[in-house]
């Protein structure tokens, strides 16, 4: 695809937005936070604003209510946390299905809470697979302990690694996996392996994940100033539940503005209006690589998306709408 020309309005707004949000201009050049490539909206129906799907909250609640109760794991069994915009009930651990949960905690960027979810999947051997660990606390660890034994800790990109070392120290027998290059960048974490692993059959998920996941390494972007990998993100598709688990590849902020604090809304506006054009023009270094990743993602037939930032998305149609907002229309056969 050809590049779009950065509009004059974007160039004029950059310094203004940088003044409103201290430190934002610095992140344009060296901080891998929420740059995303714009893609055409799907023509079949009118989508919600980019990265927000108002219909999914009720669907997600219904899915949790249908899941069988498991004492000690449902949020009602633990003392509630302080309520936040992304965790309005103060739930310690939120159930999605009988084998999938997430822990929702504040994710602070320049004193702005952009929200953060840690996804947890119980594999068929009863062990837990933990994606993008949030801040460790005993209450959360005890709730997870009722669901299974923590065996896999996954740090999906260069950004979501802050708490990985704490979890590895608390669960030293767990296997810590990081995206390519992360073990070298963060030697103190104690990573055991890199994902995707490279074997005779090519790159893929580790065998100890029991064949439940497919992975996609988004290695098509870079920082135009340093010429080095930017997010370096790996995304994960849980095949039994058809669930896509991502960190910064996309987000799904709620469509109800009253739910989100003012600074968080301003922050998201800046990402949509400033970061998107910058990413489009300067950060995609490999169009062929982007196309390969796009084809793979759409081939999965995603029916649920758990993003680190924003609401869980339920249903194939809603997932397709969100994916099209970030990756464009599904490739033709």
What per-residue confidence (pLDDT) applies to 178? 98
Nearest to 30 by CA among 274, 275, 226, 233: 226
| Residue 159 vs residues 42, 85, 133, 186, 255: alpha-carbon distances, Å | 29, 22, 12, 11, 25
The C-alpha atoms of residue 155 and residue 248 are separated, in whole angstroms, by 12
For residue 333, what pLDDT is reported?
A: 56
Give the per-residue pLDDT at 201.
66
- CATH number for the domain that contains residue 113: 3.60.15.10
CA dist., res. 20 & res. 25, Å (int): 10
pLDDT of 78: 58
Instruction: Please indicate, yes or no, if residue 46 is contained in any of the structural domains.
Output: no
- Asked if 89 and 79 touch (Cβ cutoff 8 Å), the reply is no
Q: Is residue 68 part of a domain?
A: yes
Q: Is 27 within the bounds of a domain? A: no
Number of domains in the chain: 1
**For residue 205, what are the domain limits?**
51-327
Residue 154 resides in a domain: yes
User: Within a 10 A sphere around the Cβ of 7, how many other Cβ atoms?
Assistant: 11
| pLDDT value for 68 | 38
Select from 284, 174, 162 the least CA-distant residue to 223: 284
Q: Is the sign of the CA dihedral 133, 199, 304, 229 positive or negative?
A: positive
Q: Is residue 216 part of a domain?
A: yes
Q: Provide the pLDDT for residue 16.
A: 37
| 25 in any annotated domain | no
Q: Is residue 235 part of a domain?
A: yes
The pLDDT assigned to 289 comes to 92
In sequence order, what are the residues at sequence separation of 6 or more whose Cβ sits closer than 8 angstroms to the Cβ of residue 212? 121, 123, 124, 205, 238, 239, 240
CA 15 to chain centre: 28
In a domain, 138, yes or no: yes
Phi, psi of 292 (to 5 degrees): -60, -45
* Average pLDDT for runs of 10 along the chain of length 333: 39 41 38 37 37 37 40 49 89 97 92 93 99 97 98 98 97 98 97 88 89 96 91 97 96 81 85 78 89 96 97 98 92 75
Helices 316-327 and 287-299 cross at an angle (nearest 10°) of 180
């Amino acid at each position: 695809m050809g590049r779009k020309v950065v509009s004059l309005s974007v160039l004029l707004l950059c310094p203004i937005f940088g003044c409103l949000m201290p430190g934002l201009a610095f992140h344009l050049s060296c901080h891998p936070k929420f740059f995303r490539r714009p893609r055409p909206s799907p023509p079949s129906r009118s989508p919600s604003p980019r990265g927000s799907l108002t219909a999914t909250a009720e669907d997600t609640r219904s899915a949790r209510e249908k899941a069988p109760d498991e004492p000690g794991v449902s949020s009602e069994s633990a003392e509630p946390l302080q309520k936040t915009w992304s965790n309005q009930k103060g739930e310690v651990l939120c159930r999605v299905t009988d084998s999938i949960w997430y822990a929702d905690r504040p994710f602070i960027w320049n004193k702005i809470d952009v929200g953060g979810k840690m996804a947890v999947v119980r594999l068929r051997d009863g062990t837990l697979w933990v994606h993008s660990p949030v801040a460790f606390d005993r209450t959360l660890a005890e709730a997870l302990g009722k669901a299974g034994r923590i065996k896999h800790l996954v740090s999906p990109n260069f950004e979501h690694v802050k708490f990985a070392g704490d979890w590895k120290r608390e669960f030293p027998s767990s296997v810590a996996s990081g995206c390519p290059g992360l073990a070298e960048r963060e030697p103190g974490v104690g990573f055991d392996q890199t994902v995707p692993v490279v074997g005779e059959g090519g790159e893929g998920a580790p065998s100890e994940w029991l064949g439940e996941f497919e992975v996609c390494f988004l290695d098509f972007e870079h920082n135009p100033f340093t010429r080095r990998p930017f997010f370096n993100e790996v995304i994960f598709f849980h095949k039994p539940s058809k669930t896509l688990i991502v960190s910064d590849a996309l987000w799904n902020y709620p469509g109800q503005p009253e739910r989100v604090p003012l600074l968080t809304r301003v922050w998201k506006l800046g990402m949509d209006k400033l970061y998107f054009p910058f990413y489009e023009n300067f950060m995609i270094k490999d169009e062929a690589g982007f196309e390969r990743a796009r084809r793979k993602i759409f081939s999965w037939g995603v029916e649920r998306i758990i993003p680190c930032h924003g609401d869980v998305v339920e249903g194939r149609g809603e997932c397709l709408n969100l994916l099209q907002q970030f990756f464009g229309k599904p490739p033709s056969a």
